[in-house]
Structure 1
Amino acid sequence: MADLDGQEGEDPNGSVYRVAGALTITRAATTQREIDALPDPVTIDLSDINRMDTVGAWIIYRTVRDRGAKVIGASRDEVSLLEQVGEFDKPARVTPEEPGSAIRVLKEIGEWVAETGATLVGLLGFFGATLIGFANVIRRPKRFRVNAVIQRFDVVGVRALGIIGLMSFLIGIVIAQQGSVQLAQFGAQIYTINLIGRITVRELGTLMTAIMVAGRSGSAFAAQLGTMKITEEIDAMRTIGVSPIEALVVPRIISAVVMMPLLSFWAMLMALIGGGVFVWFSLEIPPITYIQRLQEVTPITDLWVGLIKAPVFGFIIALAGCFQGMLVEGNSEEVGTRTTTAVVQSIFMVIVLDSVFAVFFSNIGWI
């Protein structure tokens, strides 16, 4: 018997298409053409069929669906196959065309603005929750975790002395070298000391320390809290009545606020030493002359400016790191994303605040 033997017949109520043999993919195209050529209404007789695959079932089902055809003589297996094909007859999702470049840019800008606004609102709410946590600790001193704060002192401060000291020492050398090259054109190399003293003590000492702490400690805060969110440790703390803000966030913020001025002073000192070493060997200015000149050209207000900014920067860095860590949900990939966001966010806010401080101190006469 042939793979498919389709026989057309006339019926008082319309056309009849009788199928004999196998209705499979090998004769699907021929079967479809023959059925399409029949006038409506169509009746499909499956009494003599011995095998039908999903392609053949789809042809029969589509004819019933689109033309209202009637199927007769189908066995139980054939009816079941037709029903299964019908269950998967669902409209496919069509991917919309890509918008133009201008519309795409505007869309991305809008999404960025919306995301930034949501982040600022969330950060403001987290700041309020942190203040409430501080108030609860002050009202109930027994809830203050001294050991956690001391441990954070070690991580944020003591273990950062080496890298911050080396970085500041090298930055002092770079400032002295670049400054001396430019000032040599005017025969004013002695003013290299002025440049080193003022820019290091007033700005770079604190700013570079804040950037290092953001990359080192701020990222660690976000990763630690994010991992605790994934492992449900924070949920377990809430279950037993322990506030995550008081137990995790407050110690980290206190450590960053306390250690930032100390690290900033250490960075200033190492940068001044680096600059002094350079002018001693390159410009042949002895250390005693260098120190005396620093005292003359660097006002004490520069030191106060740097030290006043430091705890504010520390607070912002710790707040951003803990905030992003608390937002982690889902999987470990989210930890890396939130950690990166915490570093970028804290550095951005530090630089913005530094510009605000510069304008403020200039207006009050601390120039």
Structure 2
Amino acid sequence: MGPREKELPQGILVSETHWTGRDGHGHKSGSIELRDIAGKPVLALSGVWSVPTAAALSRQIADLSLPSQGQVGIDLTQVSVMDTSGAWLIHGLMVDLKKNGAAPTLENLKEQHAPLMHLVEGAVANPDESIHSKSTSPLRLLEITGEATIAALSKGRELTNFVGMLTVSFLRAVKSPSRLRPISIVNQLELTGLRAIPIIGLLSFLIGVTLAYLMADQFRAYGLDVFTVNVLGIFVLREAGVLITAIVIAGRSGSAFTAEIGTMKVNEELDALRTLGLDPVEVLVLPRVLALVITLPFLAFWADLMGLLGGGMMTMLVLDMTPLQFVQQLKEAVNLKTFMVGLVKAPVHAYIIAVVGCFEGFKVQRSAESVGKQTTTSVVEAIFLVIVATAAFSVMFSVLGI
């Protein structure tokens, strides 16, 4: 039906394009009317604005004489059903009005329809790069590199701010020890320390066995069997023990920190803490960091013992050494400095793992998907930073001649 003129109680109907009845699929259709209410043009929308009615609505909009200037209201009071296609049509209508020189405004947008409109507006404002042709030109590669660099710098700045907040909370707790939460710290000591002993011991033992077997097989070809013990002791005590422990704890406890804090954010428990006047960093982060800094050195020591035990057993089996010979050779190969060089890394690794785990937990958005994403991110970042710290320690010890 084409445009027509008629009087309405609400105002004067300037023009109307109205699709009555049902469309070809049996769905109720929508309508759009241009009215003049108190001197202001208003587009009154009603009915169903969805995929089945989109074609008919597009024809109605095309037949409509749109205002070319001034404020134009788009009244959604009578819209009963709307999906993404309907929201897209409405957004397109607003774009057309703006091109004509008018200033459109949405009026009486229902609460259940608002997310769809925001979704469409966001998609237009920030189109997904995947819908565009992906170019491999140097300019595009430079753009990708720049974006990644800016994202990394931004995350580094946020992480630095988080470390600053944690430092302030720690100094505040040192000044006023009553702020410390001994029950939370003891609970985290159990979760991150005692319950990690079996898996740390088993992995370290098996890695010691593997290292001893591989080294004995190689050294034996050159008649240097005895040096298997030397290399095993130095490698386990200086590097392998603490590194294996840190990687396992990053996957076990670091991910747990992220998931716990992230779930609390999803459930709005962090907001509840702030409402009660409590600092989430002081309540949640500080006990976890302190507990992990305490437990990781002990776990690293346990890993050293189990690694040497596993390597010693394999060495004695492969090289026909007695336990006394193994101990004597190990004593000649390593000393207290070798042990301390490895152990001094443990608190640093623990601090990195705990801070990254808690930091990513606070970055969780209010969705289950975000919890999983940030948990994965925290594990990857923690392991990466632990390896970087290990490399930095190696360079520093080499420069110092340790």
Q: TM-score, normalised by structure 2?
A: 0.70
- Which amino acid is the alignment partner of residue 165 of structure 1? G
The residue number in structure 1 matching 2:272 is 236
Cα distance change of structure 1 residues 57 and 299 upon mapping to structure 2, 3 Å threshold: closer
Distance in 2, Cα, partners of 1:335 & 1:61: 43
Q: Does 1:169 align with 2:208?
A: no
Distance in 1, Cα, partners of 2:294 & 2:395: 25
Output aligned runs, 1:53-92, within 5 Å.
Answer: 62=62, 65=65, 90=93
Distance in 2, Cα, partners of 1:264 & 1:223: 24
Cα distance change of structure 1 residues 240 and 173 upon mapping to structure 2, 3 Å threshold: same
Q: Tell me, what secondary structure is at the counterpart of 2:196?
A: helix
Q: CA deviation at 1:302?
A: 1.3
Output aligned runs, 1:232-271, within 5 Å.
Answer: 232-271=268-307
Q: Tell me, what secondary structure is at the counterpart of 1:328?
A: coil
Cα distance change of structure 1 residues 286 and 57 upon mapping to structure 2, 3 Å threshold: closer
Instruction: Write out per-residue CA displacement over residues 14-70 of structure 1, whole angstroms, 9 at most, x where no aligned residue.
Output: xxxxxxxx9x999xxxxxxxxxxxxxxxxxxxxxxxxxx99788667646659x9xx
Output aligned runs, 1:117-156, within 5 Å.
Answer: 117-156=153-192
Distance in 1, Cα, partners of 2:265 & 2:60: 54
The answer to whether the Cα contact below 8 Å between 1:206 and 1:309 also exists between their aligned partners in 2 is: yes
Task: Say which one has the larger Rg.
Answer: 1
Q: Which moved more, 1:295-304 or 1:102-111?
A: 102-111
Q: Does 1:341 align with 2:368?
A: no
Pick aligned residue for 2:245 from 199, 209, 219: 209
The answer to whether the Cα contact below 8 Å between 1:25 and 1:55 also exists between their aligned partners in 2 is: no
Kindly report structure 1 stretches of 4+ aligned residues shifted beyond 2 Å.
Answer: 53-66, 86-97, 102-111
Instruction: Write out per-residue CA displacement over residues 322-360 of structure 1, whole angstroms, 9 at most, x where no aligned residue.
Output: 000011112111011111111111111111111111111
Distance in 2, Cα, partners of 1:58 & 1:183: 80
The residue number in structure 1 matching 2:32 is none
Q: CA deviation at 1:279?
A: 1.0
Identity between Structure 1 and Structure 2 (%): 37
Count of residues in correspondence between the two structures: 302
The answer to whether the Cα contact below 8 Å between 1:196 and 1:275 also exists between their aligned partners in 2 is: yes
The answer to whether the Cα contact below 8 Å between 2:216 and 2:318 also exists between their aligned partners in 1 is: no
The answer to whether the Cα contact below 8 Å between 2:233 and 2:308 also exists between their aligned partners in 1 is: yes
Cα distance change of structure 1 residues 363 and 231 upon mapping to structure 2, 3 Å threshold: same
The residue number in structure 2 matching 1:13 is none
Kindly indicate whether structure 1 or structure 2 has the higher relative contact order, using CA contacts under 8 Å at least 6 residues apart. Answer: 1
The residue number in structure 2 matching 1:8 is none
Q: Tell me, what secondary structure is at the counterpart of 1:242?
A: coil
Q: Does 1:360 align with 2:402?
A: no
Pick aligned residue for 1:292 from 325, 328, 333: 328
Cα distance change of structure 1 residues 54 and 336 upon mapping to structure 2, 3 Å threshold: closer
Pick aligned residue for 1:320 from 336, 356, 365: 356
Distance in 2, Cα, partners of 1:56 & 1:166: 69
Pick aligned residue for 1:274 from 298, 310, 331: 310
Pick aligned residue for 1:189 from 225, 229, 233: 225
Give 5+ residue unaligned stretches, structure 1: 1-21, 27-52, 69-83
Q: CA deviation at 1:190?
A: 1.2
Q: CA deviation at 1:299?
A: 2.5
- Which amino acid is the alignment partner of residue 249 of structure 2? V
Q: CA deviation at 1:189?
A: 1.3
